[in-house]
A = this chain, B = another copy of it.
């Protein structure tokens, strides 16, 4: 009880002073997890303040996440919530992180991050560079990292100088910078249909007109694309040639060459979002658009989030030379520069040759999960529910029969402990949709086997139930 004692001053209301004091007791570790705070009456007598002061204080503490209340009574300390409260990634908002079979999140699993190695590198950087690692970095990014990336990129058949590479704070920032630099109100932008919601949001924030062109197994629909290019003269097209998100489709060589040709013909830029090409589970890789780019039309953005660690907030961008200065300037007034510490540590990671090692082992894990998932889905999903069979990436795209709403299935599956990601968020309109996405990054093979079985049962039941209800006649509003 004596820890709670406090002599009040006139600086602010008493309940705030007390709140601050108890927070300090908690954060200093004096009050530990699940410690029961004194009752309101006892504490008010002890401190000679009104009970309402204590009530206000305890409410504040609860709001701020420092304590929780039990229904039967009593207020208890939340001592350490470092590992809790971790929400999933942007495109993958899975609110139910405690679901036993989480097929919604496509964040790579933190269990596979090379934390020990990276920790060592961080320490080496700090011993070597001291405070310079915590200063603003030079425009375009830390030069040695840009040099290492230049060598790395030759493996992707991209031959550039360090000056042509810009370091950015994640792939999302890349897309956002490009939108800011190139798009004005009512400009047209082409995206694949379906596409990555973060990109759609960035284009939207520029009040651009977003035109969706369907993605097929071998790439974007080239005939529709050409029509759209001819008619609207869009400023740019946003494409994911390797293991497109969310479908997992991969452009074949013909489609790659053709989109370049069309970009040249209609004088438009291509934003190539390379998020997944490193997670290729076969041995045949196709050249990135950037390497086929003859007329300097491709803005290449390569994120290290999915194949490495999202929390680095690190990606690279290679603009056409005509856009180089403009994009670097926009990057500057977006967040000045990307963390020097992270840039330096990642530079060492590359120089030590650890990238290839990491990719190899990560691929092995995901490839196994992925092939288990595909095999299981073949068995458990009914024939009316086809799905994509990607050879890389982290996602499988499933289609219910026309007019079935995946949002409804989502709720049904959740009851069984299975989380899926309904497809509407990958469309500009965000209307109800019959598609959904599955991902298998944070579940074991055992869980994949069990979860896909449960999902299959749910889907079958769902198709029957809703067929019996005459799903074709369901009004749209019914589902929302």
Contacts and interface: CB of A to CB of B under 8 A. Distances in A.
Nearest to A127: B119
A323 interface: no
Nearest to A308: B134
A115 B135 CA distance: 11
Number of copies: 2
Contacts of A60: 161
A302 to B, nearest CB: 16
Interface in A311-370: 311-313, 329-330, 332-342, 344, 351
A198 B351 CA distance: 34
Contact of A134 (B66, B110, B170, B344): B110
Contacts of A123: 119, 123
Interface residues of A, number: 91
Contact of A151 (B20, B133, B136, B184): B20
Interface stretch (A38-46, A86-94, A216-224, A266-274): A86-94
Nearest to A150: B64
Interface stretch (A141-149, A277-285, A293-301): A141-149
Contacts of A313: 169, 335-339
Interface stretch (A2-10, A77-85, A449-457): A77-85
Interface in A157-181: 157, 159, 161-163, 169-170, 172-173, 176, 180
Interface stretch (A201-209, A253-261, A407-415, A428-436): A201-209
Interface of A: 12, 16, 20, 23-24, 27-28, 60, 63-66, 80-83, 85-90, 107, 109-113, 115, 118-119, 122-123, 126, 128-139, 143-144, 147-148, 150-151, 154, 157, 159, 161-163, 169-170, 172-173, 176, 180, 184-185, 198, 201-202, 205, 207, 309-313, 329-330, 332-342, 344, 351
